[in-house]
Amino acid sequence: MSANIKITPAAKIKTADTVESKPRRNPRKRVVPIWRSRKMGVAFSLLMVFGIVASGWWATNSGLTAKTVEQARWQVIAASSALGFTVEEVLVTGRGETRRAELMDMLAVERGAPILAYDFRQAKARVEDLPWVQTARLERLLPDTLVLHLIERRPLALWQQGGSFSLIDEEGEVITTQGLDRFQDLMHVVGRDAPQNVGPLLELLETQPEIRKLVVAAVRIGGRRWDLRLEGGIDVRLPELGAPEALARLAQFEKQKNLLSREIRILDLRMPDRVILRREPQVEFKPQLPEQNET
């Protein structure tokens, strides 16, 4: 029988200060068995840990085998299960893009399993193998709840290689190649080493917001510099060195002379003391996403 799993985004979780107050009608105080109280749970857990450590020390000094120690450990865990220390509920925070079914498979938890025996290290490794998961943290809420805290990857750009596209994060790592139609508004980047360099490029573009909002794509040239593709098919060639200054000059010229509204195809900023304008014809760069249906 599977566990009663409640996977809830962090924003959906109600805390004590978000619950609406209602008139109280002298409710009867709920009687909680002392063995299920939080203090008792903590005390019991400490006792279990102490027992396991003590048994290991005793076994080492008395010459007992590892098999005997393992048997003793499971006897302690079995005793905790008899007292109700079993997995009955799982709470998840931070889930946005990760699919519930995939997460359940990676957690590999069964209802009624001993909560003290659950292997956090292996579960964490499995969950962090999921495409959208950047980091995962697990904790126990005794006596019967596991809590999983997720931090998911932040999509940054669409990376084009030939005719295929991949969604990449801030570290330049590929998140997924499926369901990309939702991310068409992100910048498109082209080039073998583009994913590793798109983060600094976006930081550079944020220094000139008026230019940034016009950029639809960026092409990595020779692993050294960028060409920007603006709305209207304008190609802006940035230098290998001094790109921040070049972009600032472009923003200033645009403000003073309204360059980007003219019939210009190429703005060459690679010379530090001038802007070269060209009107020669150029094929407009229009990245198209292949049709994909999310399964």
Cβ–Cβ under 8 Å, residues 150 and 106: no
Using the predicted structure, report yes or no on whether residue 139 has a pLDDT greater than 50.
yes
Q: Which residue has the higher pLDDT, 56 or 254?
A: 254
Domains of the chain: 4-10+34-151 (3.10.20.310), 155-278 (3.40.50.11690)
Which two structure tokens, joined as six digits, stand for 94? Answer: 């931070």
Evaluated on CA atoms 9, 133, 107, 178, the torsion sign reads: positive
Cβ–Cβ under 8 Å, residues 175 and 153: yes
Name residues whose C-beta falls within 8 Å of residue 156's C-beta, 6 or more positions apart in sequence.
168, 169, 170, 186, 198, 199, 202
pLDDT, tens only, 216-255: 999 999 999 999 999 988 999 999 999 999 999 999 988 8
Specify the pTM: 0.69
Cβ–Cβ under 8 Å, residues 240 and 223: no
Name the average pLDDT for the chain.
Answer: 78
pLDDT at 132: 97
pLDDT, tens only, 23-52: 445 555 544 454 455 555 555 555 555 555
Amino acid at 91: L
d(CA 256, CA 30): 73
Cβ–Cβ under 8 Å, residues 216 and 188: yes
Using the predicted structure, report yes or no on whether residue 291 has a pLDDT greater than 90.
no
pLDDT at 110: 86
Mind spelling out the 3-state secondary structure of the chain? CECEEEECCHHHCCCCCCCCCCCCCCCCCCCCCHHHCHHHHHHHHHHHHHHHHHHHHHHHHHCCCHHHHHHHHHHHHHHHHHCCCECCEEEEECCCCCCHHHHHHHHCCECCCEHHHCCHHHHHHHHCCCCCEEEEEEEEECCCEEEEEEEECCEEEEEEECCEEEEEECCCCEEECCCHHHHCCCEEEECCCHHHHHHHHHHHHHCCHHHHCCEEEEEEECCCEEEEEECCCCEEECCCCCHHHHHHHHHHHHHHHCHHHCCCCEEECCCCCCCEEECCCCCCCCCCCCCCCCC
77-86, 184-193, 286-295: which range is least confident on average?
286-295
Can you tell me which residue has the tokens 């978000």?
18
